[in-house]
Chains A and B, each alone.
Chain A
Amino acid sequence: MSKAVLHLSEGMEPGFLREVEVEAGTRVSLCYQCGKCAASCPVSFVMDLEPYQVMRLVQLGARDEVLRSRTIWLCASCTACSERCPREVDVAATMDALRVLARRAGYRPAEGQIALFHGIFLDNVRDAGRLHELGLMVRYKLKSGGLFSDLDVGLPMMRHGKLKPVPHRIRGTDQMRALFARVRAREAAAKGGEGR
């Protein structure tokens, strides 16, 4: 995949670095661009921005460039980058923070299917308390338009009893719904408080 050209002159927001550091709980400003994160990253070969480029863009306040990248969604959260960073920057936590900020700011995720997957996963957990894998896969495939893809794996899974047909609902579903509602309410408050 060809790498994106960085447009550093456009849309800089000096406050962005601070915002990311607070959300991620790590100091992106310490990054000195050695590139070890990218060298460690198992999925950098499909990313538009390499992890070290994301770090630099955050330092420079290039909010838009970062929040609409594919990279923040493709990151598999393996934390190899964070483990190895010589400056102890938690790169993986930064990727998490950027996904959160992109969602809050209403960006359409550059990797729509990955965001869709996370959404269906969490709806399922909110409603039943436990994830029902078969339900997740069927709903995801219906919504992403590939219902009949992957049948060479799906059918043997069925045969081996690896796809439980009936979901398990926990007793405490009320508590789950309340928990999600309180998180959403806080999110909404955070959004209102950004004042941008």
Chain B
Amino acid sequence: MKYAYFPGCSLSGTAREYDRSTRAVARVLGLELEEIPDWSCCGATSAHATEKLLSLALPARSLARADEMGLDVVAPCAACFNRLRTTVHAVRSDWKVRQEVGEVLGQEYAARSDAYALPDVIVNRYGLDNIVPHLKRSLDGLKVACYYGCLLVRPSAITASDDPEDPQTLDRLVRALGGEPVVWPAKTECCGASLSITRTRVVWQLAAQILTAAQRAGAEAIAVACPFCQSNLDMRQVQAQKWSGRRWNIPVYYFTQLLGVALGLPPGELGLESHFVDPLGVLRQKALV
């Protein structure tokens, strides 16, 4: 099974460990990821807040390369996935959009390849049945709050999410790994994304609500599939604790890190050293590292 890989900008910076753990997990599973040559930024929120055509032309540049490779695209970052998939959808469903995007891009773009989110590719396309034979360790009842945030699931007309209010993709994976996904109400709440930099206090408040909901549900860990979610819940957790006077101390893992642990990969290969809230304590208690 082979995909064109779109890492996205965060995965060489703030979300380095997401890139490392994705590549490590893919190697073990025999899932081939071929990086799109000379890919460029998807434009994220800044592009669609500024000009619609720009927000379609930026992803189209990388998508056109995937078309040439003849491969469907997988994006680990939920924000990139959302922009790529929005572009494919817009270009396929409106001839005028296709023409305009082509003009701005300076090349024809026909949206032949599809774009998928990494959890969808691993859980549904590669498939849990094919993952289980590779597993070396059980998460041994680890209580995990699967946090999807916004961009992985909404708008559901574009993302084709299984259920935009109560998605199950990551929950099913955690269960297959021997963990226990908790039932909690903040699965698809927003973390505030890039308001993290411009309106930091808003993000503390949103993070506080999400972390409190996870704690009340008895979660020992949170699993995410988005660099914004990870940084706003992990890197900002200490600040949010100070600001709110509450205490959570919940580690926030990329789902690929938990999968990697269950596949028997060592912490160093999964980038587990670069978290703010200690990610190893909980895993040690379960004798997983």
Contact check, B58 vs A80: say whether CB atoms are below 8 A apart.
no
B49 interface hit (Cβ, 8 Å): yes
A60 interface hit (Cβ, 8 Å): no
Contact check, B104 vs A122: say whether CB atoms are below 8 A apart.
no
Contact check, A80 vs B43: say whether CB atoms are below 8 A apart.
no
A165 and B69 alpha carbons, distance in the complex (Å): 31
Contact check, B46 vs A171: say whether CB atoms are below 8 A apart.
no
Q: Which residues from A are CB-within-8-Å of B9?
A: 130-133
Q: Which of B49-77 contact A (CB under 8 A)?
A: 49-54, 57-58, 61
Q: Find the A residue at minimum CB distance from B9.
A: A131
Q: Which residues from A are CB-within-8-Å of B38?
A: 129, 170-172
Contact check, A182 vs B104: say whether CB atoms are below 8 A apart.
yes
Contact check, A80 vs B154: say whether CB atoms are below 8 A apart.
yes
Binds A, one of B117-125, B193-201, B245-253: B193-201
Q: Which residues from A are CB-within-8-Å of B31?
A: none
Q: Find the A residue at minimum CB distance from B97.
A: A25
Q: Which residues from A are CB-within-8-Å of B32?
A: none
Contact check, B61 vs A76: say whether CB atoms are below 8 A apart.
no
A31 interface hit (Cβ, 8 Å): no
- Please report the number of residue pairs spanning A and B whose Cβ atoms sit closer than 8 angstroms: 168
Binds A, one of B138-146, B211-219, B233-241, B281-289: B233-241
Q: Which residues from A are CB-within-8-Å of B188?
A: 80
Contact check, A172 vs B61: say whether CB atoms are below 8 A apart.
yes
B206 interface hit (Cβ, 8 Å): yes
A171 and B62 alpha carbons, distance in the complex (Å): 13
Contact check, A122 vs B189: say whether CB atoms are below 8 A apart.
no
Q: Known A77-B48, A77-B193, A78-B154; judge A183-B54 contact (CB<8 A).
A: yes
Contact check, A82 vs B54: say whether CB atoms are below 8 A apart.
no
A170 and B46 alpha carbons, distance in the complex (Å): 20
Contact check, B52 vs A76: say whether CB atoms are below 8 A apart.
no
A156 and B58 alpha carbons, distance in the complex (Å): 32
B131 interface hit (Cβ, 8 Å): no
Interface size on B, residues (CB 8 A): 57
A162 and B190 alpha carbons, distance in the complex (Å): 23
A179 and B43 alpha carbons, distance in the complex (Å): 12
Contact check, A99 vs B49: say whether CB atoms are below 8 A apart.
yes
Q: Which residues from A are CB-within-8-Å of B164?
A: 83
Contact check, B41 vs A129: say whether CB atoms are below 8 A apart.
yes
Interface pairs (26), CB distance under 8 Å = A42-B206, A79-B154, A82-B154, A83-B154, A83-B164, A97-B52, A100-B52, A111-B199, A117-B46, A125-B40, A129-B38, A133-B10, A137-B197, A140-B198, A153-B276, A157-B235, A162-B13, A162-B15, A163-B13, A170-B38, A170-B39, A175-B105, A179-B54, A179-B57, A179-B104, A182-B106
Given contacts A83-B164, A149-B200, 14 further A-B contacts (CB under 8 A): A42-B190, A77-B150, A78-B150, A114-B199, A116-B198, A117-B197, A119-B46, A121-B46, A129-B41, A150-B200, A157-B14, A168-B12, A180-B54, A186-B53
- State the A residues within 8 Å of B (CB): 23, 42-43, 45-46, 74, 76-80, 82-83, 90, 92, 96-97, 99-100, 103, 111, 113-114, 116-119, 121-122, 125, 129-134, 137, 140, 144, 149-150, 152-153, 156-157, 160-164, 168, 170-172, 175-176, 178-180, 182-183, 186-187
The 4 closest A-B pairs by CB, nearest first: A78-B190, A160-B274, A121-B46, A131-B9
